[in-house]
Structure 1
Amino acid sequence: MHDFYHIGSTLGKGSFAVVKEAQHKHTGVRVAIKMIDRSNPGFVAFDADALRKEIATMHRINHRNCIRLHEVFEEQGYICLVLDLVTGGELFDRIIARGHYSEKDAAEVSRDVLQAVAYLHAQGIVHRDLKPENLLYMSNDESMPEYKHIKVADFGLARCGSPDSPMRTMCGTPGYVAPEVLDPRLTAPHGYGPQIDVWSIGVVLYIMLCGFPPFYSENTVTLFRQIRRGDYSFPSPYWDNISDLAKAHFFDLVRRMLVVDPKQRLTAQQVIR
């Protein structure tokens, strides 16, 4: 790896990995390198097979709105993943800073994320953990076009669904998880599918427009009951600042994305259209 990249400063640290900024020696391209210490007890306890699946999944992905895995190196006890460098932070942080997004900005973010997810679904890949923390901006510099360029990240839970290998594992983040993940009866006997990602994007769109989630309770049982029932609303005064024209559009769109029955829910491609 050191033959090809100049290794720079540390961008972040985890329990068994460190992320470094780097630059390719020949092309000058700046990247992020995630260095996973295989000797670390945290990695030993971690499911190494899950990492292999994540790498295999990311090798299949090449879309401008998805974090790309460029190369993998194994050396000196480390597994090193060469990834796109993103420095603009999470969508979550920008929502917190703004309070909520304008109609135009929310539409742009949703379009970019949906295009990425439609691409993933066309490849047979389901992300399974879409949320503002996993949607990253390329740059923090408002003068750069990359300031609004968003990418889907963290494919640790992503899976390739197929009739021979149905997805039934309960996973994801509680406030963004789809009803059929919580209640297998909704999709029995086949397991759930890519529709769960559309539900999660519907939750993200709702949050961008008003600043808080459609489903919320400090009690997980109550939260999951709300999700299984599709029990949410568009309360005043939080939705009053949206124009009547946009309100009609977004209300209808959110309702068609947050449909409890996955068979009635829009696909990512249908939402884009």
Structure 2
Amino acid sequence: MLLLKKQTEDISTIYEIREKLGSGAFSEVVLAQERGSAHLVALKCIPKKVLRGKEALVENEIAVLRRVSHPNIVALEDVHESPSHLYLAMELVTGGELFDRIMERGSYTEKDASHLVGQVLGAVSYLHSLGIVHRDLKPENLLYATPFEDSKIMVSDFGLSKIQAGNMLGTACGTPGYVAPELLEQKPYGKAVDVWALGVISYILLCGYPPFYDESDPELFSQILRASYEFDSPFWDDISESAKDFIRHLLERDPQKRFTCQQALQHLWISGDVALDKDILGSVSEQIQRNFARTHWKRAFNATSFLRHIRKLGQSPDGEETPRQGRCQGQVD
């Protein structure tokens, strides 16, 4: 279905604005109810004045979302434009962020992690089949559809997605800690960067801390470039060999040898019955609290360091030879 921008003088004639849900780099998201119905949406409100120079990013996000229809991907329902704003009416998801939900659980097992990763893999595999690379997969972009225990997980935030017209992309964007080695090296890259990010997420889901981390960003980048990580004792002692094998195939240094989404979906840890049933909630939730409470304030600093690293290679984040302010910086949060 083609979603044309619907013109309006005042968005409040279409939606009743209820409350603010959050804000991003250059937009605010509010809970809105469609007038004349009980239908609720998450309305992304983008002031046109902050769009100057970023129009391509937003047009790209709309172009991506228009093509997407999948049960595990947050849908774009409508697009409105007023003299001052652009409004994206997004499917409302109410279940909260991935880590928050894990912390609230009564129990949590490797099998639960396998089920979560399988859902995200299915969604990303679908995107890849359309030639779309998400480019910013991270736990904060994985949301639960509802607050109920059996809720599905949803992939959100396509602010950095690119439709892969040719075989490779050349714009370095993403969140440090989840970026693939080829991205840091400013090499042409493709769908394999999403698989790497899913490897990082899978690792965290099983132990509660990231595979690559250092207070020093140059050292963090060095770890990623070497694909240098461990399955540390005691945190990995009760995790199956199958889970570790799965992660090794996703955190493969060479993108040519790295699993595709389809290969990952066929791995026994996802498709079989080998993921363990042992409760690992205590250890994982303790590590999540310890390692991710700080990430919100560190993220802006990391974004700056990431761009500095890219510029040391003599290129801007958009793959151009001249160093100038990268347009990805505001998108890393």
TM bucket (normalised to shorter chain) is 0.7 to 0.9
Check whether the contact 2:172–2:186 (CA below 8 A) recurs between aligned residues.
no
Q: How big is each residue's C-alpha offset from its partner over 1:239-270, in whole Å with a ceiling of 9 and x where there is no partner? A: 1233xxxx121011000111000110110111
Q: Which residue of 2 aligns with 1:205?
A: 202
Q: Where do 5+ consecutive residues of structure 1 fail to align?
A: 186-190
Q: 2:58 aligns with which of 31, 51, 61?
A: 51
- The Cα of 1:25 is off from its aligned counterpart by 4.4
Q: 1:96 to 1:180 in 2, by over 3 A?
A: farther
Per-residue displacement from partner, 1:139-175 (whole Å, max 9, x unpaired)? 2344xx3xx31111110110011327x4122211111
44 and 158 in structure 1: CA distance in 2 versus 1, 3 angstrom threshold: closer
From 227, 231, 234, the counterpart of 1:230: 227
**Matching residue of 1:176:** 178
2:169 aligned with 1:167, yes or no?
A: yes
Give the Å deviation of 1:4. Answer: 4.6
* Count of residues in correspondence between the two structures: 256
Partner residue in 1 for 2:326? none
Does the alignment pair 1:92 with 2:86?
A: no
Give the drift of 1:10: 2.4
TM-score, with normalisation over the residues of structure 2? 0.71
Gaps of 5+ in 2: 1-10, 267-333
CA contact (8 A) 1:137 1:150 kept: yes
Matched, 1:258 2:275: no
What residue is the counterpart of 1:188 in the other structure?
Answer: none
Contact 2:183/2:189, CA 8 A, preserved across alignment: yes
Distance, in Å, in 1 between the alignment partners of 2:74 and 2:225 is 31
Preserved CA contact (<8 Å) 1:54 1:155: yes
Task: In structure 2, give the amino acid aligned to 1:269.
Answer: Q
Take 1:118 and 1:13, find their aligned partners in 2: how far apart are those partners? 28
Do the aligned partners of 1:37 and 1:79 also contact (CA within 8 Å) in 2?
yes
Partner in structure 1 of residue 264 of structure 2: 271
Contact 1:100/1:209 (8 A) holds in 2: no
Shift of 1:45: 5.6
Q: Which secondary structure state, in structure 2, belongs to the residue aligned with residue 198 of structure 1?
A: helix
Shift of 1:14: 4.5
1:193 — aligned with what? 190
Q: Give 1:4-19 correspondences, 5 Å limit.
A: 4-14=14-24, 16-19=26-29
Question: Which residue number in structure 2 is paired with residue 105 of structure 1?
Answer: 112
Measured at CA, do residues 270 and 14 of structure 1 come closer, stay the same or move farther in structure 2, by a change above 3 Å? closer
Alignment deviations for residues 108-150 of structure 1 (CA, whole Å, 9 cap, x no partner): 11010000000000000000010101111112344xx3xx311
- In structure 2, relative to structure 1, the CA distance for the partners of 1:268 and 1:80 (3 Å cut) is same
Query: Which one of the candidate residues 45, 64, 67 is aligned to 1:35?
Result: 45
Q: Secondary structure at the match of 1:212?
A: coil
Residue range with higher mean Cα deviation, 79-88 or 133-142:
133-142
Q: Distance in 1 between matches of 2:12 and 2:51?
A: 25
**Aligned in 2, Cα 1:140/1:171: closer, same or farther, shift over 3 Å?**
same
- Contact 1:101–1:209, Cα closer than 8 Å, also in 2: no
TM-score (norm 1): 0.86
Classify 1:220/1:15 alpha carbon distance in 2 versus 1 (closer, same or farther; 3 Å): closer
Query: Is the Cα–Cα contact under 8 Å of residues 100 and 208 in structure 1 kept in the other structure?
Result: no
* Corresponding residue to 1:121 among 99, 119, 128: 128
